[in-house]
Amino acid sequence: MANQQEKAPLAAQEMFLLKMGELVLKGLNRKSFESRLMGNLQRRLHPYGKFRAYARQSTVYVEPMDEFCDMDGAWEGMKKVFGISGLSRARACEKDKDAFFAAACSYLGGALRAARTFKVESKRSDKSFPMTSIQLSQYVGGRLAEAYPHLKVDVHHPELTVYLEVRDFAGYVHANPEPGAGGLPVGSGGRAVALLSGGLDSPVACYLMAKRGLALEMIHFFSYPYTSEEAKEKVLELARLVAPYCGRLTVNVVPFTKIQEDLRRSCPEPYFTLAMRRYMMRISELVARRVGAGALVTGESLGQVASQTMDALAVTEAACHIPVFRPVIGMDKEEIVRIARRIGTYDTSILPYEDCCTVFTPRHPKTHPKLEEMEEIERGYDYEILCREAFEGIERIQIRP
């Protein structure tokens, strides 16, 4: 009986159901969040073929427009779109109890044969449907139990859950939804400039701020020949790895050698790292002004190194005039590593290539500096000229997901 039912599918092709995340809690400005999400989705789907995407009742429907669409590629791409809390591969059917059963047999036949226990869950968004959710689940579940006699019903811990949804446009059958990236659509929270090094922390910081809706412009400080071309390529690879979450990126590679050599000659050694970080903040702010960004993002974690004490962070931040976001500030290394592994940046981050932060590292860095001391040291610097020269020498590299 199971095989006979599987030969009579009522739906033509597979499609996707995407559940919107926290943006459904927005008030009068919810439409702007949805519009941003739909734009991000369309860009992400573009490499995989022609898809139609539309939103209704806190759900995004994504349908392939022809048989040439790469469904697997689109599925993996949409998992990394912020603003989506869950994804399901589904098949549409008529809003009829027998149509639901037939679609379940044809679309989920393999999974039903492989499972030992199952249950049916129904959601009825279209209240004009004549059966309640419980009635529909009982009807389809009973017929599936008859069609697949090896299956046992387990409402608590089933191997397979068959989901039925009665919505405005049609009925939908799917199983085993997967979690989405969550968060808010990239671009809905404005734009920021993220300082990207070759370590573990800054790619994680970029990911976390993109998840809160920030569109990011990257900046990397490159000190050739003290840092190698391999180190630069490592950072660009990290940008490529976070681009599926962040969307299209520009990496601003700043020539930083002259500034570091000047500091080595003129800056007291304990203050070297602080002075260097203040230059980075000033140049990053210049980039932010150019691209219309309203904040900086760093991967600083409180107490992790000498330049990340509370006093040192205050001295560093005082060099710029826009907010500095530090999303990993309260995380320990294990938490940061856990996220880096999940988003795929860990293996690249631990490659043994130096970055400019390790060049001319002081033996005894100042851990509790005072801003007045730092400003007194800087009085003899032409830092505005040096910052402008570095800014004008920036190499802008485009990164696409």
Of 210, 160, 205, 159, nearest to 187 by C-alpha is 210
pLDDT under 50: residue ranges of the chain = 1-11
* Torsion angles phi and psi, residue 8, rounded to 5: -125, 60
pLDDT at 113: 96
Collapse the DSSP code of 398 into the 3-class scheme (helix H, G, I; strand E, B; otherwise coil) and give the result: strand
* Torsion angles phi and psi, residue 352, rounded to 5: -80, 55
Amino acid at 332: D
* Torsion angles phi and psi, residue 184, rounded to 5: -120, 150
The tokens for 72 are 């697997």
- Rounded to whole angstroms, what are the CA distances from 267 to 244, 271, 281, 377? 41, 7, 17, 7
pLDDT at 6: 33
Q: Compute the C-alpha angle 164/170/173, nearest 5°.
A: 25
How many other β-carbons are positioned within 10 Å of the β-carbon of residue 384?
9
pLDDT at 355: 76
Q: What does the alpha-carbon distance between residue 253 and residue 401 come to, in Å, rounded to a whole number? A: 19
Collapse the DSSP code of 152 into the 3-class scheme (helix H, G, I; strand E, B; otherwise coil) and give the result: strand
* Torsion angles phi and psi, residue 163, rounded to 5: -100, 130
Q: How far apart are the first and last CA of the chain?
A: 46
pLDDT at 12: 52
pLDDT at 28: 85
* Torsion angles phi and psi, residue 275, rounded to 5: -65, -40
The average confidence (pLDDT) of the chain is 93
Q: Which residues pair with 194 in a beta bridge?
A: 218, 297
pLDDT at 1: 36
Pairing of strands 160-166, 117-124: parallel
Q: Which residues pair with 175 in a beta bridge?
A: 162
How many other β-carbons are positioned within 10 Å of the β-carbon of residue 38?
16
Kindly report, residue by residue over 141-197, the tens digit of the pLDDT.
999 999 999 999 999 999 999 999 998 889 999 998 999 999 999 999 999 999 999
Is 275 in contact with 377 (CB distance < 8 Å)? Answer: yes
Please, is 12 exposed, middle or buried when counting C-beta atoms within 10 Å of its C-beta (0-12, 13-18, 19+)?
A: exposed
Catalogue the E-assigned strands of 111-224.
Answer: 117-124, 152-153, 160-166, 171-175, 178-179, 191-195, 215-222
